[in-house]
Structure formats: structure tokens, C-alpha cells
Amino acid sequence: MTKSGPVPDESRLLSGHPMNPKNSIVYPKLNSNEWILFNTSGTSAIGPWGTSFAANLTPDETGIGSWTLAQFTRAMREGKSKGLENGRPLLPPMPTIGYKELTDNELKAMIRYLKSIQPIENIVPAPILR
């Protein structure tokens, strides 16, 4: 957080919600179905579904390092957690509806890029469902 608002930590881009946040974080419960609250890093969101955390998209084993193209495709097109056939649905704010129409070539290019960036070890917390 800066005087001008939140600024991304470029050394941790695409690594998801931090496994060891610097400060103790309290995740409030919202009593309204009309609100979504994001933390200042943009890596967690609280809404009517509960609390969700941004995934680690780096090629580390704690991220998508062992994912296959089939898993990535299932996650993007079907909204399945970790691209597993019986995985839970991905939670908001993941815009799965917008990714369903991606072509095979677009998905291949996306995973190729994600597998090329620096791996960052980061175990993201499990969602807190309501």
C-alpha cells in the first residue's frame, strides 16, 4: 500500500494470495448479497459465496507446474478447480464465463506463457465457503 493506493508487488506477479501474509488478516463476513470486498493486494475476495483467494498461476509445483494442457483447458472452459474432472467449481471473481469461448490455440498460448514465467513457491489458502 502506498500513499496513492495499492501497487502490485512485481516480484510476486501471478503467484496468488500469499501463504504467509505480513499482517494478521481478518476476513469479515458480509451480510449482504449486494457486496464484494477485495483485499488491498487484489488477491482475495469476500462475497455471498464466502472468501476466495487468487490461485498461484506460476509453474511452481504449488501452482500450475504439474498441470497438463487438458487440466488447464478444463479449468478455463468448465470452471473446475485445478482442472480436475471432479473438482469443485471455481469461485468468483474468476470470470469463467468469459473464458469458455477461448480457442484451443489461445489456451495453448496462455499455458505456454504461464509455464515460461518464474516459478514462485506459494501455497494459497483454501476458500472459506458460506
pLDDT, tens digit (0-9, with 9 covering 90-100), for 29-67: 666 677 888 888 889 999 889 899 999 999 999 999 999
What is the C-alpha separation between 47 and 101, in angstroms, rounded?
A: 26
Q: Is the pLDDT of residue 11 over 90?
A: no
Percent of the chain with pLDDT strictly greater than 90: 54
Domains of the chain, residue spans: 10-129
Least confident of 6-20, 76-90, 98-112: 6-20
